[in-house]
Amino acid sequence: MNEMWGESTVKLRAENAARGQLFDEGNYAMFIHWGLYSQLGNKVDGKTYYGIGEWIMNPRMAGIPVEEYKNLAKTFNPKKFDAKAIAKLAKDAGMKYIIITSKHHEGFAMYHSKACDFNVVDATPWAKDPMHELAEACRAEGLGFGFYYSHNQDWTFPGGNRGPTTDEKGNPATFDDYFVKKCLPQVEEITSNYGPIEIVWFDTPGNMPKKYVQQLVDVVRKNQPNALVSGRAGHGLGDYQSLGDMEVPHKNVDGMWESVDTTNDSWAYAWYDEYWKTPKEILRRLIACVGRGGTYMLNIGPRGDGSVPERAARSLEESGAWIRRYPQVVYAADASPWEHALPWGDVTVKGNRLYLSVFEWPAGGKLYLPGLKTKIASAKLLLGEKSSAVPYESAHGWTILGLPPVAPEKLVSVIEIELAGEPEVDPTFGVDPDIGTEILADFASVAGAELSQKRWMEKFGEWKSVHHVHDWTADAKATFEVSVLEPGDYVVSLTYAGEGRLVWGVDVVGGEHIQNQQNSSHNYQEFPIGWINFPEPGTYAVAVSFLEGDPALASLKSIHFAPAR
Ligand code: H79
């Protein structure tokens, strides 16, 4: 994975105190993938290719030869490109800056480059530089602006990684040729010609030697002393960590980091890709990133004619309207002291205030908050002028908030809890007495088996990941610590993948043992195991063991508890 996304280095906020204000406090940005590939929208010669559209040239997608790909410039004429409308969309969405592809892996510069004429001004009938307009439109909206730049891969310039290995005359070309003739001068250009920029977003460092990365970073520092360099520059020379593509972490992550994600499944426009994130899903992912301590950058892929897919815009506008009502939940907000999401939603923090974003409104009229140790000064359900006090009580280390039967907001309702001091929390998972509680394998202590992250591509370039417990040995256990408020029976189920019939055991340590045989699937599916009993309120260890079946393929993703009623 390092080859693609660079190493995971923890960068502390303090190192960057003078820079990265928008990154650190804005917490939400727009990413844009737009280039010649957008014209194709994943269809070549009548055939549709599924996956990330900017990779269409790749042999594992359409496999377009270099000269043929270059011809796409002759038809690039994005008359519907409207820089002001895009900046306004980002603003309305609640985003604080825009990062756009100045050059992706295929090597086409979407700005006027003197270093290489394979660019949007010199090679297209449109002959305009959209980046001047966009940079200006961002400034007019009070947004930051910055560039994505593929520094290592260049598929059309001789010597670029995965690019031609000889030049026009047939002489061998080296990475150094590409670096000196194109990469370094282009990074000079993007950091010199568009005013102050927020970030230079390098991607996929691969095995690029450190001396090259250092030179690029030096150029950014010289021309843009206030800009951040993305972690994917490589060799730990970036300012912050970028997680894997499309990855929203489950546990709090230290230091300065971001998740990059996209409104549908592809980064670049793909004609068939109508699987949009709903406004609620966007808020869920944004608030999860802020709640884990990071920043969320969400992508749109404009079409080849420059227009923005209407459904992407709709989801962004609707989630943005919510953010305008609850800015305190997102901006300059910090990570949740629970360090993970809660069954009904998530928590962000500002000083001594907790913001509870409730995604699943509890039907029983009570919201259960486990492990809060600091005394509450006040609690209210936010609704502009109509905010109302929320009654609360505590029992066995839990806080129980009384709520109206119907959620005041369609998407996400927010409860503000003002604390008497700094938030202090026992982050142990609570088994919610009202709604189902899922605990991911990430949070298990594992003995006799392996806990690791597995990634795979659902479609070409579209990454999914899971933390799973695998390679089970005879006495292996994955143990989950839980806190129980309401004693009684709970239905336990496990989400796993595997082959054939599998037997799993679940033990309340010092208490009941159940086991059951269920089928499996190569996809992760939830299978019921049975009821177990928690005899009284308190903390329990619940151990999962793998009893029969093929241990090589058995992969546990999570355990679920639901009140048996
Ligand atoms: O710009 C977007 C992607 O195009 C870019 N990063 C985001 C922000 C990106 N470039 N590479 N990757 C993401 C990782 C892709 C890896 C794969 Fe492959 C490409 C998997 C299959 C094709 C490289 C070639 C690794 C295996 C074969």
**Position 3 pLDDT exceeds 60:** no
Instruction: Give, using CA atoms, the residue closest to atom 18 of ligand 1.
Output: 461
Q: Residues 7, 248, 520, CA angle at the centre, nearest 5°?
A: 105
pLDDT of residue 335: 97
Q: Are 153 and 163 in contact (CB under 8 A)?
A: yes
Torsion angle, alpha carbons of 444, 449, 453, 458, to 10: -110
- The residue among 252, 255, 423, 422 whose CA lies nearest residue 339 is 252
Stated pTM of the model: 0.96
| CA 4 to centroid of ligand 1, rounded, Å | 7
Residues 6 or more apart whose CB falls under 8 angstroms from that of 14 comprise none
pLDDT of residue 462: 87
Instruction: Give, using CA atoms, the residue closest to atom 22 of ligand 1.
Output: 461
Q: Are 272 and 48 in contact (CB under 8 A)?
A: yes
| CA 526 to centroid of ligand 1, rounded, Å | 30
Mutate-to-test residue for ligand 1 from 1, 2, 3, 4, highest number of ligand atoms within 8 A of CB: 4
- 329-362 confidence digits (pLDDT tens): 999 999 999 999 999 999 999 999 999 999 999 9
Residues 6 or more apart whose CB falls under 8 angstroms from that of 41 comprise 53, 269, 270, 271, 303, 304
For residue 458, what pLDDT band results from cuts at 50, 70 and 90? confident
pLDDT of residue 9: 59
Task: Specify the ligand 1 atom closest to the Cα of 55.
Answer: 4
Q: How many other C-beta atoms can be found within 10 angstroms of the C-beta atom of residue 302? A: 24
Give the total residue count for the chain: 565
| CA 457 to centroid of ligand 1, rounded, Å | 10
- 156-196 confidence digits (pLDDT tens): 999 999 999 999 999 999 999 999 999 999 999 999 999 99
pLDDT of residue 527: 97
| Cβ of residue 265 lying under 6 Å from some atom of ligand 1 | no
| Cβ of residue 417 lying under 6 Å from some atom of ligand 1 | no
pLDDT of residue 12: 55
| CA 92 to centroid of ligand 1, rounded, Å | 30
- β-pairing, 429-431 vs 477-484, is parallel
| CA 376 to centroid of ligand 1, rounded, Å | 47
Q: Residues 99, 122, 32, CA angle at the centre, nearest 5°?
A: 15
| Cβ of residue 52 lying under 6 Å from some atom of ligand 1 | yes
For residue 18, what pLDDT band results from cuts at 50, 70 and 90? low
| CA 5 to centroid of ligand 1, rounded, Å | 9
| Cβ of residue 434 lying under 6 Å from some atom of ligand 1 | no
Q: What does the radius of gyration of the chain's CA atoms come to, in whole angstroms?
A: 25
Q: Are 358 and 284 in contact (CB under 8 A)?
A: no
Distance CA 462, CA 261 (A): 10
Q: Are 509 and 479 in contact (CB under 8 A)?
A: yes
- Average pLDDT over the chain reads 96
Cross-strand partners of 372: 425
Overall average pLDDT of the 47-66 stretch = 97
Distance CA 17, CA 37 (A): 38
Task: Specify the ligand 1 atom closest to the Cα of 3.
Answer: 25
- 503-533 confidence digits (pLDDT tens): 999 999 999 999 999 999 999 999 999 999 9
| Cβ of residue 245 lying under 6 Å from some atom of ligand 1 | yes
Torsion angle, alpha carbons of 67, 68, 73, 79, to 10: 180
- 388-430 confidence digits (pLDDT tens): 999 999 999 999 999 999 999 999 999 999 999 999 999 999 9
DSSP string, 450-508: EEEEEEEEEEBTEEEEEEEEES--TT-EEEEEEEESS-EEEEEEEEEE-SS-EEEEEEE
| CA 298 to centroid of ligand 1, rounded, Å | 17
Torsion angle, alpha carbons of 17, 22, 24, 29, to 10: -150
| CA 110 to centroid of ligand 1, rounded, Å | 20
